[in-house]
Amino acid sequence: MRKIRFREALREAMSEEMRRDESVFLMGEEVAEYDGAYKVSQGMLAEFGPKRVLDTPISELGFAAIGVGAAMNGTRPIIEFMTWNFAILAFDQIINGSAKMLAMSAGEFGNPIVFRGPQGSAGQLGAQHSQMLTNMLASVPGLKVISPSNPYDAKGLLKAAIRDNDPVMFMESEQMYSDLGEVPEEEYIIQIGKCDIKREGTDVTIISYNKMMKLALKAAEELEKDGINAEVIDLMTIRPLDMDTIIQSVKKTNRAVVIDESWPFTSIASEIAFQLQRYAFDYLDAPVVRVCGADSVMHYAPNLVDAYLPSVAKIVDAVKSVSYQK
């Protein structure tokens, strides 16, 4: 099977859906003339023209509002944020507008829209450009939240998101855009709301999403050297959350470690840990352990970046802390 980069998988997903459905269009900062800040939309202006690939001013609140209104009127916008850190300015339109539109209009107006872009740490970018905001948006009823970890999943899930009739938050990572992965040339769709077991195991369940999946899989390889066989689950969709797959895995392994780049307080890891201890308590041989980002702002210094983020070593230590409790 061919290998393409993460950015190419996203571009293929958008282009294929725009060819299939004329109501789909892309709008955001530098998506057209500059071919995208991360070259995700490279070549799309040339193919689809300026009426379907639109550059916007640096005004997230403004172009998010245009997208919400356009979705109310029969189109399927894809709104690209240069980073979700900037999208905080558009949360009024996303949370008070898009998420609530169907309910507040008594079903008269849907909001089939995709908001997408990168989030989280991408090196030394400082406190205001390194935030993982998945948990904030996943807490809002009416929104679907997706955060893939590889090109194959990214393409299949983005195509599903564009076709979905609800607002979808598609949350990527700057550090994954150049990642290579196998992606078939034939069309495929990945169902929203399902986890994927990336590695079968018997001794502990490691749960994660987005770029932390790379660390989770590397940690599983390290643990194998010590005789610990870890099962690794990729959430892929954060909301709706596929707890059934996670619970079934924990019933087999009896232990769970959740990896989440977000701040620990009210994180996705916190919700998963609560649900496991609520619905799979009798199967747990040890408490659920979280490995999260630090409960702090992200500083610029490289040593503080390393101290802030989860790592393979931190994950291995967390797994070993639960693996020998009987």
Please say if 30 is a catalytic residue.
Answer: no
Please say if 299 is a catalytic residue.
Answer: no
Task: Find the catalytic residue in 129, 231, 261, 271.
Answer: 129
Chain position carrying tokens 């977000």: 262
* Interacting residues of 8 by C-beta distance below 8 A, sequence separation 6+: 151, 183
Cβ burial of 154 (10 Å; 0-12, 13-18, 19+) is buried
Task: Find the catalytic residue in 8, 17, 60, 172.
Answer: 60
State how far the Cα of 132 lies from the Cα of 110, in Å rounded to an integer.
28
Q: Do the bridges between strand 237-239 and strand 144-146 make them parallel or antiparallel, or are there none, so unpaired?
A: antiparallel
157, 170 contact by CB (below 8 A): yes
Q: Do the bridges between strand 196-199 and strand 230-234 make them parallel or antiparallel, or are there none, so unpaired?
A: antiparallel
Cβ burial of 139 (10 Å; 0-12, 13-18, 19+) is middle
Nearest alpha-carbon partner for 285 in 257, 231, 324, 245 = 324
119, 132 contact by CB (below 8 A): yes
Token pair for 325 = 């409790």
Q: Phi first, then psi: give them for residue 115, nearest 5 degrees.
A: -105, 125
**How big is the chain, counted in residues?**
326
Residues that are catalytic: 60, 129
